[in-house]
């Protein structure tokens, strides 16, 4: 349910707004401020707009116009939260502002249809997504994609952007309702959250995640009945869909008789959404307790392996790599050192830091499809930074970032490969086994 402007006029919302002391320390952390250089496209300006709406200084017309424009241009990357000395909970302010924008916005028929198909029909339905992945696989292998990309200037911007982030699809899906046995000494049991887009389009990352966990002594069980985490729905201000998905995931994971040590997620954005289920379901008394229990078990795979790397990766992976933080992993989950520490354990891998590793890549849920020009400006800045490192491998830890960076490599004409941290660990373990034929070699 999206919200009327009155939700910005509550004492709770105003109290959150009042924590901003206008110091401006967040400005240079903000990617949209870097693109536009304007106060209204920086956190402080957006907060000023929210305050004006909260205090009734702007009315419905301005909400539909200037307020919506600047709120929708925000990437929700939370970089400003990390930079803020005053503890402003920007993401929570933005979430409510977004829902007001959605409530007041008139969507075109095409947009409504695409949203309905994407977020209501496809993302919550893994079977449909896998069917789509099969279709895209055919589109890629028969060479139709090459043809379309040669003439992509003929496509509308949104369609061009959506096509542009399609990664090479590999059709190797995770079997649901099955366990993968631990290798060597058994250390425990974990549940695996596959993600929806991740499972359909980057299934090789899920495969590598399971193998690496097995290698470290964990039985990995992938519960059936799990669904999309709801992050995209939250991003679009669709709280009711996000709540439905949260309840479904909680039921899928907590209804199992034989519980596990942790629920592992390998995508920064999905993991943050799963960890925030208590907030999402805060007004649902029947789920509040279960949401807290579920979320306390969720671990990002970097976070988990950092503390449970029982088998060192000893195989050489001689590449120069750079790590691009997922915003939701870094600013949302506060996981920064763990992926870097894991990468540094891989023999032969040279890790070159970016000038701005914490700067958003422009993916931001569906931002790269709905705000194409700004997303591309943010992406171009990121790719310039990456090119400066001379990296052959760009490492990241979230589905959207991985797809966006694959598109960025093509856009910038680089030769680099984009991989998840676990894919590199997996390569190292295989190299240690002397397996020269592993299909994902860098």
Residue 180: phi and psi, rounded to 5, are: -105, 130
Q: Please, is 154 exposed, middle or buried when counting C-beta atoms within 10 Å of its C-beta (0-12, 13-18, 19+)?
A: exposed
Closest CA to 333 of 359, 305, 308, 303: 303
Residues 246, 254: Cα–Cα separation, whole Å = 12
Cα–Cα dist 157/422, whole Å: 33
What binding mask, one character per residue, do residues 33-62 give for ligand SF4 by CB under 6 A, x or -? Answer: ----------xx-xx---------------
Using the minimum distance from each CB to ligand SF4, give the nearer residue, 5 or 29.
29
Q: Is 15 near ligand SF4 (CB under 6 A)?
A: no
Q: Is 235 in the site for ligand SF4 (CB under 6 A)?
A: no
Q: What is the largest CA-CA distance in the chain?
A: 68
Three-state DSSP at 354 gives coil
- Least distance (Å) from ligand SF4 to the CB of residue 399? 19
If one asks whether residue 363 binds ligand SF4 (CB under 6 A), the answer comes out as no
Binder among 5, 16, 32, 374 for ligand SF4 (CB under 6 A): 32
Q: Does 21 interact with ligand SF4 (rule: CB under 6 A)? A: yes
Q: Which among 330, 6, 384, 375 is positioned nearest to 157, based on CA atoms?
A: 375
Residue 335 near residue 302 (C-beta atoms within 8 A) = yes
Cβ of residue 370: shortest distance to ligand SF4, in angstroms? 14
Number of residues engaging ligand SF4 in binding (CB under 6 A): 27
User: How open is the CA angle 424-430-435, to the nearest 5 degrees?
Assistant: 135
Q: 82 and 330 in contact (C-beta within 8 Å)?
A: yes
Say how many C-beta atoms besides its own lie within 10 A of residue 5's C-beta. Answer: 19
Piece in contact with ligand SF4 (CB under 6 A), picked from 19-27, 173-181, 301-309, 419-427: 19-27
259 CB neighbour count, 10 Å cutoff: 12
Nearer to ligand SF4, 39 or 152 (CB): 39
Nearer residue to ligand SF4 within complex by CB, 54 or 421 = 54
**Cβ nearer to ligand SF4, comparing 84 with 161:** 84
Characterise 167 by phi-psi region: left (phi > 0), alpha (psi -120 to 50), beta (else).
beta
Strand, helix or coil for residue 313:
coil
Closer of 100 and 351 to ligand SF4 (Cβ): 100
Which residue's CB is nearer to ligand SF4, number 87 or number 108?
A: 87
Minimum distance of ligand SF4 from residue 44's CB (angstroms): 4
Tell me how far apart the alpha carbons of residues 237 and 116 are, in angstroms, rounded to a whole number: 14
Report the nearest approach of ligand SF4 to the CB of residue 28 (Å). Answer: 10
Decide: is 28 part of the binding site for ligand SF4 (CB under 6 A): no
The count of residues in the chain is: 442
Q: Does 24 sit near ligand SF4 (CB under 6 A)?
A: yes
- The per-residue DSSP string of 40-62 comes to GGSHHHHHHHHHHHHTTSS-HHH
C-beta of 24 vs 135, nearer to ligand SF4: 24
Distance CA 377, CA 108 (A): 25
**Token representation of residue 413:** 């004409």
Query: Residue 86 has what DSSP assignment?
Result: T
Binding mask 62-101 for ligand SF4 (x = CB under 6 A): ------------xxxxxxx--xx-x-x-x-----------
Asked if 20 interacts with ligand SF4 (CB under 6 A), we say yes
Q: Is 405 in the site for ligand SF4 (CB under 6 A)?
A: no
- Binder to ligand SF4 among 31, 167, 223, 237 (CB under 6 A)? 31
Interface residue with ligand SF4, options 8, 17, 30, 425 (CB under 6 A): 30
Positions 126 through 165 that interact with ligand SF4 (CB under 6 A)? none
CB of 398 to ligand SF4, least distance (A): 15
Query: Closest by alpha carbon to 226, among 258, 192, 275?
Result: 192
> In this complex, which beta carbon is closest to ligand SF4, that of residue 301 or of residue 354?
354
Q: Which residues contribute to the site for ligand SF4 (CB under 6 A)?
A: 20-26, 29-32, 43-44, 46-47, 74-80, 83-84, 86, 88, 90
């Amino acid at each position: 349910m999206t919200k009327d402007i009155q939700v910005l006029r509550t004492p709770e919302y105003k109290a959150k707004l009042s924590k901003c002391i206008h110091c401006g320390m967040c400005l240079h952390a903000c990617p949209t401020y870097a693109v536009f250089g304007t106060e209204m496209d920086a956190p402080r300006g957006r907060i000023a707009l929210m305050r004006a709406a909260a205090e009734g200084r702007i009315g419905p017309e301005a909400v539909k116009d200037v307020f919506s424009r600047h709120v929708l241009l925000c990437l929700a990357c939370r970089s400003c939260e990390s930079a803020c000395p005053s503890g402003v909970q920007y993401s929570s302010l933005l979430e409510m502002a977004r829902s007001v924008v959605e409530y007041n916005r008139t969507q075109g028929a095409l947009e409504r249809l695409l949203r309905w198909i994407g977020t209501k029909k496809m993302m919550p339905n893994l079977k449909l997504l896998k069917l789509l992945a099969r279709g895209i696989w055919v589109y890629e292998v028969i060479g139709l994609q090459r043809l379309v990309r040669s003439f992509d200037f003929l496509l509308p911007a949104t369609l061009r952007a959506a096509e542009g982030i399609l990664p090479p699809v590999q059709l190797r899906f995770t079997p649901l309702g099955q366990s993968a046995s631990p290798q060597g000494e058994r250390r425990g049991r974990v549940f695996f959250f596959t993600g929806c887009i991740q499972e359909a389009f980057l299934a090789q990352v899920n495969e590598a995640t399971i193998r690496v966990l097995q290698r470290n002594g964990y039985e990995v069980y992938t519960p059936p009945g799990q669904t999309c985490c709801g992050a995209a729905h939250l991003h679009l201000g669709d709280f009711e869909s996000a709540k439905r998905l949260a309840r479904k995931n909680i039921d899928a994971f907590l209804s199992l008789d034989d519980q596990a040590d942790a629920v592992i997620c390998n995508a920064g954005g999905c993991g943050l959404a799963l960890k925030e289920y208590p907030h999402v379901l805060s007004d649902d008394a029947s789920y509040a307790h279960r949401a807290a229990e579920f979320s306390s078990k969720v671990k990002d795979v970097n976070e988990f392996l950092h503390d449970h790397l029982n088998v060192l990766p000893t195989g050489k992976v001689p590449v120069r790599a750079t790590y691009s933080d997922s915003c939701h992993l870094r600013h949302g989950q506060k996981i920064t050192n763990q992926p870097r520490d894991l990468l540094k354990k891989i023999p032969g891998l040279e890790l070159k830091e970016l000038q701005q590793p914490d700067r958003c890549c422009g993916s931001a849920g569906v931002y790269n499809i709905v705000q194409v020009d700004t997303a591309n400006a943010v992406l171009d800045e990121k790719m310039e930074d990456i090119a400066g490192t001379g990296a052959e491998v760009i490492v990241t830890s979230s589905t959207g970032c991985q797809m966006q960076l694959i598109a960025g490599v093509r856009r910038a004409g680089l030769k680099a490969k984009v991989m998840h941290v676990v894919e590199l660990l997996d390569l190292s373990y295989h190299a240690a086994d002397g397996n020269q034929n592993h299909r994902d070699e860098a």
